Structure 1
Amino acid sequence: MSAADGSDAGDAGDDPIGYFIEDMELHGKSRRTRAEYGRVLRRFEAFLADPSRGPGGGSIAPAAASHRDCMAFVHALRRDPDLADSTTATYAAYLHRFFAYMTQVGAFDANPMALVMEELDERIDTDPTRREISVPQMRSFVAEIAHPLERALIVALLKTGMRVGELCNLDLRDVALSRNLGGVATDTRAQLDGRPDSLFVASEPAVDESYNGEERTASNKRKRGTVVPVDDELAETLLRWLAIRPDAASPADPLFVGTGSGWGERLTPEQVGRVVRSHAEEAGWYEPGAGAAENVTPHYFRHFFTTHLRDRTGDRGVVKYLRGDVGDDIIDTYTHNWGDNVRETYERHIYSLFNEDAGARRVGST
C-alpha cells in the first residue's frame, strides 16, 4: 500500500488502526486478512492502554509508541504459552507493516518497529528445530487417549495436517463417509459429491465473521478450499465420536462440540490446545516455557504430518495441496485429477496410528 492512492492521512484521527484496516480493504485485502490484522493491532492497542504493562508506566496511543513499547509488547507475546515463536514473529510483522504504512502516509512520524524487527531477526527462530517423534511413538501416544472427543481431535490433526482453527471450523456438512454417521443426518457440500470418505476444509471462515450461520472464533488460512481423504482409522475415530456427540447448539452443526461446561458448543482452538497439552504433559512432551522446539502442541501435529508424509511420498506437491499451501494454478491440477493424484498417493503412504502396518486402508476395503 502507498500514499499515492489519494488517502487522506488526516482521516486517521483517534483511530489509526481503523484507518489502516479501511485502507487495507481499498487495496483489495481479504476480510480474513483484515480481521487477522485488526485482532493483533487491537491487542497492541489494549496493551498500550494498560498502565501496568508498558515500560513507561502510563497509558498511550499507538501513534505515541516508542520502540521500547513495541519491544515490551513483543516480549509479552513471547511469554504467552499459546503462541509459538513463529506466530509471535508474524504478529510483529503485522505491527511493523502498520507503522510503516502510517509513517508512509504521514499519519505517524516514525516506525518504532523497524529497530524491533532487526532485534527479532536475531532472537526469534521462525522455523524452529522441533522434537523428533517417530510413528511408533505417536502410535503409543494415541493409544493412551480414551475419550472419544479427545481422540478424534488428535487423530484428525495427525491424519490431515490441518491447522487447529480449521479443525474447529469443520461442520457436519464438511464430512462425507461411506459408513453411516451414527444416525446423524448430514447434507454434505457439493465439493464432496463423488468423493466419499473425505473432508472439505474451506478457506473462507474468519474470526468474528458469520459463516454458515455462525460467528467464528478462528480463521482458516488456506489459499483455497481443499478436499482431504479420510482413511479407515480416521473414519473409525470420527464414527465413535459421532455416536456420543451432543446435539450442537449452533445451526451450523459443528463437527466438534463440547462435552463439559460448554455442552454442545463449538470447540475453540484454545480448548483443543488444552486437550493436546494435557496429553502431551502426561507423555513428557510438554514443559511450560520450553517453546516450540520441545513442546507438542496442535501445530506440532501439522509438522509431524508434513514431515512423515513428505518423506514417505517424496511428493511435495501432494503434501502442499493437503496442507492448503498452494495457489489456484497448482491446486487445480490436483483437484481435476483428485482420485489419482491425491487419494491414491495418500492411501498408499499415510502412516497407521492404530496398527503396526505401514499404511492405513481405505474406508470399506478388506
Structure 2
Amino acid sequence: MSSISDQFTEEEIREADTTNSVDEVEVKSNAISEFISNKLVRGRQERMVQDQESVLREFEAFVYWLDRVHVCMVDDGHVVEFNDHLKHSDRYLTRTHPDVDGLLELDLSDVSRHNILSVLVDFYNFLKEEKGVVSNNPAQQALRSFPEDEFDLTPPDRPRKEMDEMREFLEWLDTPFERAIILTLLKTGVRIGELVNIDLRCVHLGDGAGNTHPLYQRFLDQYDINLISEVRDKPDTMFVYTKFNEGTEIREEIRKHGNKRKDEQGSVIPIDDELKTALLEYLLTRNPPLEHDHRDIAIPLFTKPSSEGTLDRLTYGSVRGQFGEKGSADGVLAEYGWDEQGAPTEENVFMHYFRHYFTDNHKHNHGVYRGWMPAGVIAYIRGDVDKSATVGSERRESTARENTYSHSDWRNYKINIEQPYLDNIYKFGIYDQTVPRRDPLAAPSR
C-alpha cells in the first residue's frame, strides 16, 4: 500500500515529535511499514498483519484528511475523533484490504472499534519504546479517556451444544484423524496454532501401570525419540510449549505458527483415557513414513492427512482446509451443518469454538456440563493468566496460581492439576472401551 507520508516534506517529518534523532526521517517516513515488518519478523500470521496494516492506513488517511497531520504528530484528540469516525461514517477512506477493491462500508461493533484502537496502541508503543521517535502514546491516552460504557465488549453468545449433541458429532466424524483433532481441542482447550506445534516427544501415553504404552513406545523407537523432561516421568500427559514464532528453529525445522502461552514454563496437560484412545487410534492409522533420517526434525504429533510417506507437519491452512474456516461453505463443520455460510457468528460452530466449549463448560455453574474445575486449573490448561489472582486493579500471586502454575514438582502437579482435571473433564462415551490410564495419585514410576 502507498503511504500518505510521501505527501510530507523532510522538514515537516523532522518536526514530528521525537525523542531520538537516529534515522528519524527514515523511520517516520515509513512508520507503518516499519511496524508491519517488525510484526512479520516476529512470526505473526500474514493475514492478521495485513488487517493491522489496513487499520493503520485508514487512520493515516483520516488524520491527513482531518488536519493534514502526519501519523507521528497526532495527539489523543485525533484518536478520539477517529473513533467517532468509525462509529458514524458510512465508508472507510481507504481501500482497507489488498483482497478488496474499492471502499468498504462501515458497520463496526464496539468490539471491532476497540480492536482497531488497540492496534493503534500497539503501533504507537512500538514507535515510542522500540524506535524512540514519539514521546507518548496518544492511542493509549485516548482509550483511557473514554467513559466506561463507550465499548460493549461482551462477547457474542455462542451456540449452546448439549453433551449428547457433541457426542453425536464426534461419532459422525469419518476418520481417526478428525476425532483425534477435535477431541484434543475439546479436552485441552489448546489453540489451533498450539495444536500443530505439538511434537511426539512432548506426548507421553502410558500403559496404565506407570510405564509408556508399548504401542506408543514403538512409535518413539521408530523415530529414535526421547521424551522431553516435562513429560518423561508423567505418563498420560502432553506438553505445550510456551512460544514458537516463525523463524524459530527446532533442529532443522522452521515453525510457521506461534504459540500464545502466557506462562514461560509452558503447560503440562493431563490426557484422559478417552483422548489417549483417540490419539493411539490416530497414530495406528497414520501413513507410515518412508525410510529416511528423522534426526534433524522434531516429529509432529499431527501430520497432514495427504502426507504419503512423509512427516509433513499439520498446518493452520491444513486444519482450515479439512474442517473449514469461519463461515466457510466447505469443510467438516459445514458438511455437518454447524457452520453455515452467511449465518451470524453466534449461530455457527467453527474451530476456535472448541476452545471456548472447554472453558465455558468447566467453569462453576456455566455451560451444559455439571462438572467444574478451579479457575487456576482452567487458566493453567489454557495457558492463560490466572484471573482469580486479580484483586481490584492489582495483580498478585494467589494460592491458586502458586499451586497450579508449577509442574516441576511431581506431587504438586498431581494434586493441584492432574487430580482436579481428571475428576472433572467431561466424557463423551464415543468408545465402547478405552485404553486405561493410571490412578493419578499413584506414585511415579522410576
TM-score, reference length from structure 1: 0.73
Q: 1:279 to 1:41 in 2, by over 3 A?
A: closer
User: Structure 1 residue 209: deviation in Å?
Assistant: 2.9
Would you say 1:148 and 2:176 are equivalent positions?
yes
Larger radius of gyration: 2
Amino acid at match of 2:306: G
Would you say 1:315 and 2:370 are equivalent positions?
no
- CA offset digits 1:190-237 (Å, max 9, x no partner): 111321100000112113432453212211100120000001111111
Would you say 1:183 and 2:191 are equivalent positions?
no
- CA offset digits 1:260-313 (Å, max 9, x no partner): 168531111232133333232233211123353122112100111011122322
User: Structure 1 residue 353: deviation in Å?
Assistant: 1.9
Matching residue of 2:210: none
Q: Percent of counterpart pairs with the same letter? A: 31
Paired residues for 1:211-290 under 5 Å: 211-224=250-263, 225-246=266-287, 247=289, 251-260=297-306, 264-277=311-324, 278-290=331-343
User: Structure 1 residue 99: deviation in Å?
Assistant: 5.1
Answer 1 or 2: higher relative contact order, Cα 8 Å, separation at least 6.
1
Paired residues for 1:314-353 under 5 Å: 314-326=373-385, 329=397, 331-334=401-404, 335=406, 336=409, 337-353=412-428
Contact 1:182–1:243 (CA under 8 A) maintained in structure 2 = no
- CA offset digits 1:234-258 (Å, max 9, x no partner): 1111111111223398711111111
Would you say 1:130 and 2:158 are equivalent positions?
yes
Matching residue of 1:98: 123
- CA offset digits 1:152-204 (Å, max 9, x no partner): 11111011111011001101111011123172013111111321100000112
Q: 1:355 to 1:148 in 2, by over 3 A?
A: closer
User: Structure 1 residue 39: deviation in Å?
Assistant: 7.0
The partner residue of 2:27 within 7, 12, 27 is 12
Amino acid at match of 2:183: V
Q: 1:92 to 1:362 in 2, by over 3 A?
A: farther
Paired with 1:146 and 1:300, the residues of 2 have a C-alpha distance of 20
Structure 1: 5+ residue runs without aligned partners?
25-30, 56-61, 80-84
Q: 1:362 to 1:323 in 2, by over 3 A?
A: farther
Contact 1:182–1:239 (CA under 8 A) maintained in structure 2 = no
Q: What SS class does the counterpart of residue 238 from structure 2 fall into? A: strand
User: Structure 1 residue 341: deviation in Å?
Assistant: 1.0
The partner residue of 2:358 within 293, 300, 305 is 305
Contact 1:347–1:361 (CA under 8 A) maintained in structure 2 = no
User: Structure 1 residue 33: deviation in Å?
Assistant: 10
Contact 1:149–1:241 (CA under 8 A) maintained in structure 2 = yes
Paired with 1:349 and 1:303, the residues of 2 have a C-alpha distance of 16
TM-score, reference length from structure 2: 0.62
Structure 2: 5+ residue runs without aligned partners?
1-16, 63-69, 73-77, 83-91, 105-109, 207-212, 325-330, 365-370, 387-395, 440-446
Contact 1:74–1:88 (CA under 8 A) maintained in structure 2 = no
Would you say 1:36 and 2:61 are equivalent positions?
no
User: Structure 1 residue 48: deviation in Å?
Assistant: 9.3
